[in-house]
């Protein structure tokens, strides 16, 4: 069945490059609906895109359409993917704040298909904190973004802001349109977030984990067709769609939930930042301090369960288990020890002291270490891309079983 892509073109100098993108999509039997803002038509005539796409170009909210009774609603309902390219700072702001004052912006509001946004603008505009905040807001809503290329810009300056290569945009469109369902029929459980251990009714100890990596894995697994269970400790993140969630507090509760669900799972991934210690005896009432600050508070810590190690003891044939090793020294050696002691199929190791690889970052730098000893060190990439690489490795093992 043919896919339909909406190409929303906004007013940037890179508009002319989108003609090649539309042409390539059509040559590969992808139906294209081109939608242009008034500013975009100042750079390239709609006639060009009408010729390349083989259908009318949408430019005016009030123009009559032979194809749809209500144009912006009908067009939105026909889309399998909506691409905004080039995306100007102005249009990104309109998207982020739900403004629908022209044809393209109203189609964005009516659209329910995945959205790919490809920014292109002056480097100072792109780096402006307001623009970056709008991009983050849309990313949190689920929009996919491509980073602009770096180089000479039309304004004569050099920096990040160029439209990515058309081949790269085309490949990203294909990836979003034809998502693999290679985990269909499999149940995957992943833990995420930080566990918390109470000191008293208002205080607790935790760590710097935010849950980003585990949540990305959960979303990637859902996208690939898996039935996903997410066991999450404390996290500020929005729960991925179509995921069964268990919210837990401490390490013991997380361990109990995961052990209970283990027999029904084909794949288990431990991505949570589980605390290694808890308070031996939490206070029943809030601990008060003296006004002169003279006292010392001494707490006794005891160990928490090693969740993956406990699950490794119960692992059955064909069940795949994956762990993480967040280290500050001897990365590979420490990760290999965990790989063996927890009975894992592979482990994802990262040095949290490296810039772009620590807690709360949107990126990660990891090495995938297999039982065979093979080590695949990945470059810095987004956590969503790391999640895809992890699931790719899981799928390899599923096919071997």
Query: Do 371 and 284 belong to one domain?
Result: yes
Whether 328 maps to a domain, the answer reads: yes
Whether 136 maps to a domain, the answer reads: yes
Distance CA 57, CA 186 (A): 43
Give the angle 255-259-261 at the CA atoms, nearest 5°. Answer: 120
**pLDDT score for 155:** 74
Is 155 part of the annotated catalytic residue set?
A: yes
Residue 189 has pLDDT above 70, yes or no: yes
Query: Do 52 and 170 belong to one domain?
Result: yes
**pLDDT score for 246:** 98
Number of structural domains (the chain) is 2
What's the rounded mean pLDDT across residues 64-87?
A: 85
Whether 229 maps to a domain, the answer reads: yes
> Tens digits of per-residue pLDDT, 263-300?
999 999 999 999 999 999 999 999 988 777 777 888 89
Q: pLDDT-derived band of residue 361, with 50, 70 and 90 as boundaries?
A: confident
What's the mean pLDDT when you consider all of the chain? 91
**pLDDT score for 268:** 98
Query: Do 61 and 210 belong to one domain?
Result: no
> Tens digits of per-residue pLDDT, 128-171?
999 999 999 999 888 999 999 888 777 778 788 789 999 899 98
Question: Taking a C-beta distance cutoff of 8 angstroms, is the pair 324, 213 a contact?
Answer: yes
Query: Do 204 and 171 belong to one domain?
Result: no
Whether 365 maps to a domain, the answer reads: yes
**Domain CATH for 11:** 3.40.50.1950
Whether 379 maps to a domain, the answer reads: yes
Residue 262 has pLDDT above 60, yes or no: yes
Residue 1 has pLDDT above 60, yes or no: no
**pLDDT score for 28:** 85
Query: Do 249 and 360 belong to one domain?
Result: yes
> Tens digits of per-residue pLDDT, 315-358?
999 999 999 998 888 989 999 999 999 999 999 998 888 877 66
> Tens digits of per-residue pLDDT, 88-139?
999 999 999 999 999 999 999 999 999 999 999 999 899 999 999 999 999 9
Among 159, 177, 195, residue at a domain's last position? 177
Among 155, 177, 199, residue at a domain's last position? 177
**pLDDT score for 294:** 73
Query: Do 292 and 244 belong to one domain?
Result: yes
Query: Do 293 and 342 belong to one domain?
Result: yes
What's the rounded mean pLDDT across residues 173-189?
A: 88
Among 142, 177, 212, residue at a domain's last position? 177
Nearest to 349 by CA among 337, 370, 332: 332
> Tens digits of per-residue pLDDT, 233-249?
999 998 887 899 999 99
**pLDDT score for 234:** 96
Whether 182 maps to a domain, the answer reads: no
Whether 238 maps to a domain, the answer reads: yes
Query: Do 271 and 297 belong to one domain?
Result: yes
Query: Do 140 and 80 belong to one domain?
Result: yes
Query: Do 237 and 307 belong to one domain?
Result: yes
Query: Do 198 and 150 belong to one domain?
Result: no
| Domain span holding position 65 | 4-177
**Domain CATH for 312:** 3.40.50.10300
Distance CA 141, CA 244 (A): 19
**pLDDT score for 175:** 82
Query: Do 254 and 356 belong to one domain?
Result: yes
Neighbour-count burial for 54-91, b at 16+ CB within 10 Å, e otherwise: eebbbbeeeeeeeeeeebbeebbeebbbbbbbbbbbbb
User: Out of 155, 196, 255, 265, which one is annotated catalytic?
Assistant: 155
Nearest to 376 by CA among 353, 352, 350: 350
Whether 85 maps to a domain, the answer reads: yes
């Amino acid at each position: 069945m043919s896919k339909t892509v909406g190409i929303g073109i906004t007013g940037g100098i890179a508009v002319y490059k989108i003609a090649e993108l539309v042409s390539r999509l059509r040559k590969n039997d992808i139906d294209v609906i081109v939608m242009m803002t008034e500013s975009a038509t100042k750079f390239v005539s709609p006639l060009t895109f009408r010729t390349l796409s083989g259908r009318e170009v949408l430019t005016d909210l009030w123009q009559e359409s032979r194809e749809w009774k209500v144009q912006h609603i009908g067009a939105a309902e026909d889309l399998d993917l909506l691409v905004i390219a080039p995306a100007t700072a102005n249009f990104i702001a309109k998207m982020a704040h739900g403004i629908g004052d022209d044809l393209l912006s109203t189609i964005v509001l009516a659209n329910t298909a995945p959205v790919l946004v490809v920014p292109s603008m002056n480097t100072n505009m792109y780096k402006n904190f307001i623009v970056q905040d709008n991009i983050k807001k849309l990313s949190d809503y689920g929009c996919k973004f491509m980073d602009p290329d770096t180089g000479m810009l039309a304004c004569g300056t050099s920096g990040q802001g160029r439209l990515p290569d058309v081949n790269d945009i085309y490949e990203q469109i294909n990836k979003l349109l034809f998502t693999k369902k290679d985990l269909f029929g499999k149940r995957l459980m992943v833990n995420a977030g930080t566990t918390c251990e109470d000191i008293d009714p208002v205080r607790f100890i935790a760590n710097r984990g935010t849950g980003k990596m585990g949540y990305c894995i959960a979303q990637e697994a859902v996208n690939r067709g898996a039935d996903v269970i997410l066991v999450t400790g404390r996290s500020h993140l929005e729960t991925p769609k179509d995921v069964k969630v268990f919210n837990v507090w401490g390490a013991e509760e997380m361990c109990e939930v995961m052990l209970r669900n283990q027999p029904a799972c084909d794949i288990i991934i431990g991505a949570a930042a589980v605390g290694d210690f808890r308070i031996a005896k939490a206070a029943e009432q809030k601990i008060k301090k003296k006004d002169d600050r003279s006292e010392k508070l001494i707490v006794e810590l005891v160990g928490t369960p090693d969740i993956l190690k406990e699950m490794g003891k119960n692992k059955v044939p064909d069940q795949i288990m994956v762990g993480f090793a967040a280290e500050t020294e001897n990365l590979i050696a420490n990760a290999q020890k965990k790989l063996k002691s927890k009975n894992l199929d592979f482990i994802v190791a990262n040095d949290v002291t490296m810039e772009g690889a620590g807690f709360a970052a949107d990126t990660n730098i990891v090495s995938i270490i297999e039982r065979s000893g093979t080590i695949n060190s990945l470059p810095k990439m987004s956590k969503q891309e790391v999640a895809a690489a992890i699931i790719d490795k899981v799928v390899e093992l599923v096919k071997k079983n």
